[in-house]
Structure 1
Amino acid sequence: MRKMPVAAPTITSLFTHRDYLRLFTAQVSALFGTGLTTVALGLLAYELAGADAAAVLGTALTIKMMVYVTVAPIVAAYAHRFPRRLFLVGLNTIRAGVVLALPFIDQIWQIYVLIAVLQTASAAFTPTYQAVIPDILPDERDYTRALSAAQLAATMETLLSPMLAAAALSVISFHWLFVGTAVGFAISAVLVITTRIPDVGAITEGTFRDRIAVGMRIFAATPRLRGLLGLNLVVAAAGSVIMVNTVNYVRDTLGGTQSGVAMLLAANGFGTLIIALSLPRVIDRLGARPVMVAGAATLVVGLGSAVALSIADAGEWRWGAAVAVWAVVGAGTAAVLTPTGQVLRRSSQPADRPALFAAQFSLSHLAWLITYPIAGWLTTAAGFTTTWVTLAVIAGAGITVALRTWPRHDPAELTHLHEVGTIDPARLADAVRVAERLYQHTHEFVIDAEHRRWPTRAAGQPAMVG
C-alpha cells in the first residue's frame, strides 16, 4: 500500500496545543498594549518638547537600548534560578505598574526614568519568553510555524494598534492609551500564570562570567550568527526612521494630525503583514539565509526611497509615497526578523539556548543603540535628509557584513576531528579513527563546550574543533 504523505503543520494547527495557545495569546495581549504605548509615547514627547520631540524620543529609546544590552545577558545567567512562569508574571506586573504612571508625568526627565524601569522589565521578559517556546514545541516544523505566528502577531499589532489608537484619539486624550497598555500587560500575566511552563533543566556550568559569556561566544564562533549581526544593523537603521521620525515627519513636514501619525505607523504594519503571511512556505523551500538577505536588501531600498522623499518638493502626493515607503520598510523587517529564532535554535544546544537568545536580544539592541541617537539627535540638528542618508549608509554596511560572513552553503552537518581527551568518549561512538589520537565524525554541528571552534577545511581536510 502506498504511504500517504504527512501534511505539513500549519500555523492554525499550533493552536491545538493548550500551553502554546495561552502563551501566544499572552504575547498578543502584551504586544497590543505595547503598540498603544508606541503611539502615546511619541505624542507625549511632542506635547512636552514640540519640534524637539525626535531628540526626546531618540534619548528615551537610547536608554531603552542601553538597558536591553546590559540587562538581558545578566538575566540569562541567573534566570535558571527562578521558576520561569512566576518570573514572567512578575515582570508583566512591573510593566503594567510603570505604564500606569506615564499619563501623570509633566517633565521630560520623568519619561527617561520610567522608560528605564519599564525596559529593564522588558529586557528580562523577552529573552526568557523566547527561550520557553522551543521547550514546549520541540518539533522543528512546529517551531518554525510558531516563529511565523510570533511575527504575524507582532505584525498585526503594528498594523492594528495604530489604527485602534487613531480611532481612540478621535474621542479621548492620548494619555488614556497608557491605560490600554496596562490592561494588556495584566491580561498577559493572567494567561502566563495559567500555563504549564517547564523550568530550565541542565544548564551550562561555570562561573557567572562563563554563563553570561556563553551566548556571546557562540555568536563569535558561528559564521551564520556573525552574519545575523549585520542583518540586525540593517533592521535597526530602517526601523529607527519609523520609531523616531514618524511623529515629526507627519506633524511638521506633512502637516498631519495625531491620527495621521497612527495611520502611517499602520502602513508600516501592513507591509509587515503581507510578507509574514507568505513566509513559512518560502522559508521551508529556500531556507533562512536567502529570505533574510532579501529582506535586508528591501530595507536598504526603503531607506533610499525615504531619502528621495525627504528632498522632494511639497505636494499632496507625498502622503501616498510616505505610506508606500513605510510599508516597504515593514515588509523588509518581517523578512529579516521572522526566521531569526530558527537560526538561533539551529545554532545552539538546548542548555545554551536561553543564553543565545539573550545574546541576540542584547546584540540586536546594540545595533538600535547606534541608530536611535542618530535618528533622534541628528534629525534635530541637520534634518531628515542628512539623517536618512547616514542610516542608509549604515544599512549598506550591515548587509555587506552579512553577505561576507554568512556563507551561501551552510549545511547543518559538518565533518570534523577530535583529539582523544578533549571530548566525552561516548560522543565518539560513531567516529572513525584517522590517526593515533584523532577521531573523525559528522553530525549536526553547533558551538558548545566540546566544539569550541567552527570547522574550516585546510587542503581538503576537516578541522579539529575539540
Structure 2
Amino acid sequence: MNSKIYQIFIEPFKALQNKTFAKLYLAQTISLLGDAFSWVGLALLAYQIDKENSPVILATALTLRVTAFIVFSPFAGILADKVERKKILYVTHFIRMGIICCLPFITSEWQIYVLVFFLNVFNAFFTPTYRAIIPQVVEGKYYREAIGLSTATFQLLGVLGPALAGIIAVWLGAREIFFLDGISFVLAGILILSIPSKELQKGVTDEAKQSQSTWSDVIKGIRLLFGNNTLRFALAIEFVSAIAGAMILVNTISHIKNSLLLDDKYYGWAMAIFGIGAAIAAFLLGSLDRSKTRSTSLISGAFLLGISICMVNYVGYPVLLVLWLFAGLGQSLAEMPSETLIAETIASENQGKVYGSHFAFSHLWWAIAYPIAGYLGSQFPKSEFLYGGILTIILGIIAIIIFKPSFNFQNK
C-alpha cells in the first residue's frame, strides 16, 4: 500500500525527465510566481490611485483581461502553426516584461486599463502556444502527468504566491514589486531561449504553415472543438464549473464578512483551502488510470462543486473550510481533463487551432458566470450559495443528458 501511494505521488514528476518540458515547466513556474507579484501590486496601486473606487478599477481590469483572452486567443492557435513557436514564446514573453516594467510609473486609472489589456493580449498568444507544445514534446504516457504537474503548480502558486507577494510588498513597496515580476520574466525568458527551436516545432505540418486563410482556420478550430462529442461534453462541464467557481470567487468575501461577521484573515484562509484542494486534485489526477477516469472526473467534479456550495449558507466557518476543500477538488476534476482530451482526440496538425479556441471559450464561460454570481450575491445575500449550487447541479444534469459521450477512444 505504501509503495502504491508513493508511486501515485512520484508519478507526476516523471514528466520532468523530458528536458524540454522541464525547462518549459520551470519557466512557467517562475513566470506564475512573478504574476502573483504583479496582481498584488496592481491591487495596491489601484488603492493608491483611487481609494474609494479601487474595487471597480480591479473589476474592470479583470474584465479587460478576460476580454483580451476571448478576442485574441483563437488567433493564437493559428499563429502557433504558421510562425516559429519558440519565437512566439520569447517575443510575447519579453513584450509582457516591458509592459510590466511600465506599471510602477503609472499615475491614473486609464493607464492601468491600457496596460492590463495589452499585457493580456500578448498573454493570449503565449498561453495557447505553450499548451499546444506540451503534447508534442512529452511522451503520450506521461502527458497527463505533465498537465497535472503544471495545473497543480498553478493552483499552489495561486495560494502561496499572493501571500509571499504581500509580505514582499510591505518590504519593497507597491510600485517596486513590479520589478520583481520583470526579473521573473528575464529568468523564464532565458530558459525559453535555451530550448532548441526544432524541439518546439514538433507536430507542425507544412500544410498548416502554408494556410493563407486565418478566418477559415479560426472557424475550423471552433468547429473541431464543438464537433468533437468528447470535447463538447468537457466544455459543457467547464461551463458548469465556471458558474460554481464564480460563486466562490465573487461571494465568499461578503459571506464571511457580512453573514459570518469575520475579518479578512478568515477569507484568506478559506480561499487558501480552496486552492489547496484544487492543487491536490490536479496533482493526483494525472497518476490515475488513463482510460476510465475522463467521464468520472468531469461528472464527479461538477456535482462535487454543486453539492459543496449548496450547503455554505447554513454552516459555520469550520465546515465552510471543509466544503471549500471539496469545492477545490471538484474544480480541478471538472476542468483538467479538457486539456488532455484535446491532445488525445485531435490530430496534431490541428491542435494549435483547437487549443486557441478552447482557451477563448473557457474564458467566455467565466465572463458569463461572473455577472450571474454577482446577481445572486446581491439579490439573495442569505441564500446565494444555495441557489448557485442548485443552478450548478441542474446545469450538470442537462450537460450529461444532452452531451455525454461514450469516451470510447484510443489513447495515444
Shorter-chain TM-score range: 0.7 to 0.9
Aligned partner letter, 1:85: K
Aligned partner letter, 1:145: E
What is aligned with 1:120?
121
What is aligned with 2:96?
95
What is aligned with 1:14?
15
What is aligned with 2:195?
195
Task: Quote how far apart the aligned CAs of 1:16 are.
Answer: 2.1
Aligned partner letter, 1:256: D
What is aligned with 1:272?
278
Task: Quote how far apart the aligned CAs of 1:100 are.
Answer: 2.8
Task: Quote how far apart the aligned CAs of 1:41 are.
Answer: 3.7
In structure 2, do the counterparts of structure 1 residues 24 and 46 end up closer, same or farther at CA, with 3 Å as the change threshold?
Answer: same
1:299 matches 2:297: no
What is aligned with 1:237?
243
Q: 2: CA distance between counterparts of 1:261 and 1:51?
A: 21
Over residues 343-386 of structure 1, what are the superposed CA-to-partner deviations in whole Å (9 max), with x where a residue is unaligned? Answer: 1112210100001111110110110111234445775x547557
Number of corresponding residues: 398
Give the counterpart of 2:290 among 245, 262, 284.
Answer: 284
What is aligned with 1:256?
263
Over residues 15-47 of structure 1, what are the superposed CA-to-partner deviations in whole Å (9 max), with x where a residue is unaligned? Answer: 222111101101111111223334444454556
Provide structure 1 residue ranges, at least 5 long, that are not aligned to the other structure. 1-6, 310-316, 414-443, 446-466
Q: Comparing both structures, which one devotes a greater share of its residues to helix?
A: 2
In structure 2, do the counterparts of structure 1 residues 355 and 168 end up closer, same or farther at CA, with 3 Å as the change threshold?
Answer: same
Q: 2: CA distance between counterparts of 1:250 and 1:44?
A: 25
Contact 1:275 1:331 (8 Å CA) reproduced: yes
Contact 1:102 1:178 (8 Å CA) reproduced: yes
Aligned partner letter, 1:68: F
Tell me which structure has the larger Cα radius of gyration: 1
Counterpart secondary structure, 2:408: coil
State the TM-score, normalized to the length of structure 1: 0.75
Task: Quote how far apart the aligned CAs of 1:212 are.
Answer: 0.9
Task: Please give the root-mean-square deviation of Cα atoms over the aligned residues, in Å.
Answer: 3.2
Higher relative contact order (CA 8 A, sep 6+): 2
Stretch deviating more after TM superposition (268-277 or 341-350): 268-277
Q: 2: CA distance between counterparts of 1:105 and 1:324?
A: 41
Give the counterpart of 1:342 among 336, 340, 343.
Answer: 340
Aligned partner letter, 1:159: V
Over residues 78-131 of structure 1, what are the superposed CA-to-partner deviations in whole Å (9 max), with x where a residue is unaligned? Answer: 333322112111111122222333344444333322221111111111100000
Q: 1: CA distance between counterparts of 2:374 and 2:222?
A: 29
What is aligned with 2:4?
none
1:207 matches 2:204: no
What is aligned with 2:157?
157
Contact 1:65 1:366 (8 Å CA) reproduced: yes
In structure 2, do the counterparts of structure 1 residues 190 and 252 end up closer, same or farther at CA, with 3 Å as the change threshold?
Answer: farther
State the TM-score, normalized to the length of structure 2: 0.84
Contact 2:309 2:385 (8 Å CA) reproduced: yes
- Residue identity over aligned pairs, in percent, reads 23
Q: 1: CA distance between counterparts of 2:394 and 2:276?
A: 27
Contact 1:54 1:375 (8 Å CA) reproduced: no
Correspondence list, 1:37-436, <5 A:
37-45=38-46, 54-137=55-138, 139-168=139-168, 171-196=171-196, 197-199=199-201, 200-204=204-208, 205=211, 207-245=213-251, 256-257=263-264, 262-284=268-290, 286-308=292-314, 318=317, 320-375=318-373, 382=379, 384-385=381-382, 388=385, 391-392=388-389, 394-407=391-404, 409-412=406-409
